[in-house]
């Protein structure tokens, strides 16, 4: 038996060790995220008005947000790790750290995620979209309107724009594009697929802004606003009253605007209605489960509208809807357990809301607001121009964020506090910031979950995604300012 030299054995061991794949945290994003918090904590002078724990929590919050953007770990895992660090360093007590997990807004979102799974499982979302395609799909523009309107109808009961994009509308767009010989990552993408993707993405920003329950970040905005003393009664109805006119106008204008600035090569789609008819024939008659979904959705919307007057909270309505679906066999508990996005959202929403709440309680948000308000006052900037400057800054700073909820968690409370300190009416400021949070979701290919889903479809080139993002952002802002300002005046909001 040959004797293997010791040096050769050591070399073999080193090689074996070196090729082992690292399955843990991504080290470079981890180093950057931690460095941001440490530099802020120890290199930036602490203001006298902010307690040490508040400054320490702000540094940890910056580390958390940096990690949500750079993703050293999956979002839920990173949030949990940062929460653990907050407790370990005694920045937060255990009860304070986990207090937000009893927040009704979080459970409303989680319950709604479960409910939205019913749209996909039963095929009701596909059926509704195919119905619109069948009647409006003879032209490319009509096809786009069919998809846009069907999403708007589904949105109040399916509070994840990303789930609507990935579970319903991108698969339909891919099927329609394939029928028209328009393929991703190919010159033929401009024939049909690229236009439908961009029209749907840009319109989804207004669908999400139309209803309070159309996007998870809407509910988070309202909760954070209430934490700063801005109370909104009859939240679902109030949100809809303020959003309906500007959102619907912008929603209906989007397909034709995108059609003009990013035109499809194919103008007529005579095969689309026939494809929709075939799909609907394959689906057959509406199943029992679909009728239950329709009935439950109508009950939930009715209770969201009237709930405050009869003493039924929004979260109880969502819980009731989920319970009805389980009792009727539309969903089972395994469906809920397998809805990973819901449990993931529960984790990191809870962490972010808990930290934001404690930052407010420790006076950090008030300090930030006073600094900005003092700056605006020193330059003799009126509350109106303060409103304009702060809203614009909040919108376009989204270029730095890969997701809308991370943006809300990082900046919503701070910017709302700045508005309040600048004497801007809290009600107007809170709603405007919340609507802006939806409108910036199509700014880039990474600015929201739905943007990433649609870009991942491969129909749109990166330069077109950026170009259309900024053009449509300016158009959307203009429409909302001109129409929204007049509509809010009619409603007596200012």
Residues in the chain, total: 494
Q: Which residues contact 145 (CB under 8 A, 6 or more apart)?
A: 132, 136, 252, 255
Nearest to 325 by CA among 316, 312, 336: 336
pLDDT for the residue numbered 400: 67
pLDDT for the residue numbered 19: 57
Measured N-to-C along each axis, helices 124-136 and 140-154 cross at an angle, to the nearest 10 degrees, of 150
The domain limits of the chain are 102-491
Q: What confidence tens digit (pLDDT) does each residue in 189-243 have?
A: 999 889 999 999 999 999 999 999 888 789 889 888 988 889 888 888 899 999 9
Cα separation, 426 vs 227, whole angstroms: 12
pLDDT for the residue numbered 18: 53
Cα separation, 116 vs 442, whole angstroms: 22
Token pair of 305 as six digits: 């509208």
Low-confidence ranges of the chain (pLDDT < 70): 1-20, 105, 112, 167, 308, 400, 402
pLDDT for the residue numbered 148: 92
Residue with tokens 């009704």: 104
Residue 399 carries which DSSP code?
Answer: G
Nearest to 373 by CA among 435, 430, 433, 416: 416
pLDDT for the residue numbered 1: 47
- Evaluated on CA atoms 72, 74, 75, 78, the torsion sign reads negative
Q: What confidence tens digit (pLDDT) does each residue in 11-29 have?
A: 555 555 555 688 888 999 9
Nearest to 67 by CA among 320, 488, 409: 409
Other C-beta atoms within 10 Å of 486: how many? 12
Beta bridge partners of residue 268, listed in sequence order: 139
């Amino acid at each position: 038996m040959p004797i293997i030299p010791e040096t050769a054995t050591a070399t073999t061991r080193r090689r074996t060790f070196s090729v082992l794949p690292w399955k843990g945290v991504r080290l470079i994003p981890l180093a950057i995220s931690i460095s941001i918090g440490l530099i802020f904590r120890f290199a930036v002078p602490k203001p006298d008005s902010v307690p040490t724990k508040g400054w320490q929590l702000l540094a940890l919050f910056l580390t958390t947000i940096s990690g949500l953007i750079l993703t050293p770990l999956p979002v839920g895992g990173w949030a949990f790790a940062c929460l653990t660090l907050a407790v370990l360093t005694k920045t937060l007590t255990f009860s304070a750290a986990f207090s937000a997990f009893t927040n009704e807004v979080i459970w409303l979102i989680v319950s709604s995620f479960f409910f939205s799974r019913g749209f996909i499982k039963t095929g009701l979302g596909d059926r509704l979209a195919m119905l619109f395609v069948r009647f409006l799909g003879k032209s490319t523009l009509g096809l786009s309107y069919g998809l846009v309107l069907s999403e708007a109808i589904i949105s109040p009961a399916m509070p994840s724009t990303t789930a609507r994009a990935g579970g319903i509308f991108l698969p339909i767009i891919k099927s329609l594009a394939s029928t028209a010989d328009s393929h991703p990552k190919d010159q033929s993408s401009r024939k049909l697929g690229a236009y439908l993707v961009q029209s749907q993405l840009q319109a989804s920003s207004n669908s999400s802004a139309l209803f309070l329950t159309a996007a998870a970040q809407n509910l988070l905005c309202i909760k954070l606003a209430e934490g700063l003393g801005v109370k909104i009664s009859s939240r679902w109805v109030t949100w809809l009253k303020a959003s309906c006119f500007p959102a619907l106008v912008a929603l209906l204008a989007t397909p034709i605007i995108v059609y003009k600035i990013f035109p499809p090569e194919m103008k007529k789609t005579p095969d689309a209605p026939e494809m929709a008819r075939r799909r609907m024939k394959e689906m057959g008659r509406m199943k029992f489960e679909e009728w239950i979904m329709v009935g439950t959705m109508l009950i939930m919307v009715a209770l969201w509208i009237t709930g405050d007057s009869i003493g039924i909270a929004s979260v109880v309505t969502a819980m009731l809807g989920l319970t009805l679906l389980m009792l009727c066999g539309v969903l089972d508990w395994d469906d809920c357990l397998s809805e990973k996005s819901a449990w993931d959202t529960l984790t990191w929403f809870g962490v972010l809301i808990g930290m934001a709440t404690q930052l407010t309680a420790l006076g950090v948000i008030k300090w930030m607001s006073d600094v900005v308000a003092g700056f605006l006052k020193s330059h003799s900037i009126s509350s109106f121009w303060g409103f304009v400057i702060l809203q614009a800054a909040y919108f376009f700073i989204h270029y730095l964020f890969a997701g809308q909820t991370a943006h809300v968690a990082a900046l919503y409370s701070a910017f709302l506090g700045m508005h309040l300190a600048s004497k801007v009416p809290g009600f107007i400021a809170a709603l405007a910031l919340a609507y802006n949070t939806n409108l910036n979701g199509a700014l880039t290919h990474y600015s929201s979950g739905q943007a990433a889903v649609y870009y991942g479809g491969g129909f749109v080139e990166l330069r077109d995604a950026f170009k259309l993002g900024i053009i449509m952002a300016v158009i959307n802002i203009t429409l909302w300012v001109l129409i929204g300002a007049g509509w809010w005046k009619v409603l007596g909001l200012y």
